[in-house]
Amino acid sequence: MRLVSWNVNGLRACAKKGFADFLESSQADVIGLQEVRAFEHQLPSEVAAPDGWHTSFCAAERPGYSGVAIYSKEKPSRIETELGVEEYDREGRLIIAHFGRTAVASVYFPKGSGKDRDNSRVPYKLGFYETLFDRLQTLKKRGPVYVMGDYNTAHTEIDLARPKTNKKSSGFLPEEREELDRWISEGWVDTFRAAHPDEPDHYTWWRQWGNARADNVGWRIDYVFASPTGAKRVKDAFIWPEVTGSDNCPVGVDLK
């Protein structure tokens, strides 16, 4: 079973850059998308409901903003899209597909930078992390859980190309990184880092200017975190920087 996550940075735009081909070439069983930035009715039918796939969407109230989705070969037994906190739910950041006892979440974690790049949304971001974490802690008691998405945080210095110049930037602030420390201390596993513990230069997001992607000056901010029982099933974890169509690239895991 293969799980793949991708921040598409606008699904309508990504659809024009080969998303349909990616669906098939990925050989995925479940694909989680983030930053869909469209209501379901705004998507072409071949994107909203492609042959051979079951699709579920959660859009933000604000048009053209945020939004997540899950595509799966098997129909989920249940879908969740709410944390029960209005200030988070209205931004369309969470969708959880249940396949029996196994749960797969696609999550678009908030940025903390704020529109003026003054880190004004860091409290909102951390509040979202904490509220989701509480939900996941309950969920993992029922079975394996996989949390795929754009976490908007690089965990350690190995996870970004320029750590020294970004220590005051949201995405690499101590309090943001400490939140991921907390997840790991509670048994959650960063599947890629577990499989590739000391390998540098693996990134999932690059700025769209300054030749950043070609020069591999990036950040690893997209993850698949697994609950303890979920981590035992992980056979491999990967990043696909060669897949274009967004400023983020896909990440994923193969399960036993």
Q: Is 150 labeled as catalytic in the residue annotation?
A: yes
Q: What is the rounded CA–CA span in Å between residue 174 and residue 172?
A: 6
Say if CB 222 and CB 149 are below 8 A apart. Answer: yes
What does the pLDDT average to over 54-75?
98
What does the pLDDT average to over 64-91?
98
pTM for the model stands at 0.98
What does the pLDDT average to over 2-31?
97
Of the residues 29, 51, 118, 150, only one is catalytic, namely: 150
Average pLDDT in the chain: 97
- pLDDT tens digits for 124-180? 999 999 999 999 999 999 999 999 999 999 999 999 999 999 999 999 999 999 999
Domains of the chain plus CATH, in order, are: 2-255 (3.60.10.10)
pLDDT given for residue 150 in this prediction: 98
**b (16+ CB within 10 A) / e for 197-216:** eeeeebbbbbeeeeebbeee
pLDDT given for residue 192 in this prediction: 98
Share of the chain above pLDDT 70, in %: 100
- pLDDT tens digits for 96-120? 999 999 999 999 999 999 988 899 9
pLDDT given for residue 95 in this prediction: 98
